[in-house]
Amino acid sequence: MFWTRLSSGIVLVVIAALALGYGGLVLAVLLWAVSLAALLELTKAFYGGEGHGRRNGLELLGMAGVTFYYLALYFAGDDTWLLLCLVGFFLAVMFVYVIRFPKYHASQAAALVFSFLYAPVMLSFVYRTRSGPQGFYLVWMILLSAWGCDTCAYVAGMLFGHKKIFPRLSPKKTLEGCIGGVLGAGLLGWLYGAFVVERAFPEQSVSWAAALICSLGAVMGMVGDLAASAVKRNFEIKDYGKLIPGHGGIMDRFDSVIITAPMTYLMTILLLGR
């Protein structure tokens, strides 16, 4: 299991690095595919797990909504068009819910809208960060915040972990591990800012801003991790899927990135004025 998990993790990092490096269409297509998988994993959990494996009309509508949203993101990239996609998707869900009543329950319609916002829309901020000014340098802080925090938290927890803080939600998480994850992500952000990001901002000292962005991103990444775990606990499932050997589904591996991406996008605007 360890070697399977490690090899899968290496492949994920390589794919993510290539997509972030190329940006543009390559990144948009990858995020679209990941978003589709995440949406279906979430709706599968909400709609009853293994017993509801076949696609229903609402799920097909969700897949179409994700596709149109990423088309608008890539070809228009304008906030007005993206807002129209969000409103249009909500209206379409309400239309199908009413027209096919009582085929679909209100909880199914609400779950689809929640799942759409939770994964596809939040993940789109990876693309928005990458496509913005100096985006090639800034987008890597999303991974430093999320996966850097995971690694540092694991090491700190193994070495110093003692106090359990979420025993019912995530029994292995400790206060010491969480603190180590945030501090480690902040340190990685500072180093990355000092040696890399400042090349894109020659007239600014951005290392402190990168450290703060990665630290706050790490906090939100842990929130994302715990939120995804809470959903699994609510529906009594172990993993969201089996797409990634040794890791589970897309939601199991990208739960922290989903929340870290919009936080990084927002903080780069506030602190770096990009």
Q: From the centroid of its chain, how far is CA 270? A: 21
| pLDDT at residue 50 in the model | 42
What are the angstrom distances between the C-alpha of 124 and each of 17, 33, 265?
16, 11, 10
Q: pLDDT digits over 171-195, tens only?
A: 888 899 999 999 999 999 999 999 9
The band of 6, judged by pLDDT with boundaries at 50, 70 and 90, is: low
The pTM is what? 0.92
What is the C-alpha separation between 201 and 135, in angstroms, rounded? 12
117 pLDDT exceeds 60?
A: yes
From the centroid of its chain, how far is CA 117?
11
**Residue 153 near residue 177, CB atoms below 8 Å:** yes
State yes or no: pLDDT of 17 exceeds 80. yes
C-alpha–C-alpha distance, residues 137 and 21, integer Å: 10
The confidence score (pLDDT) of residue 53 equals 45
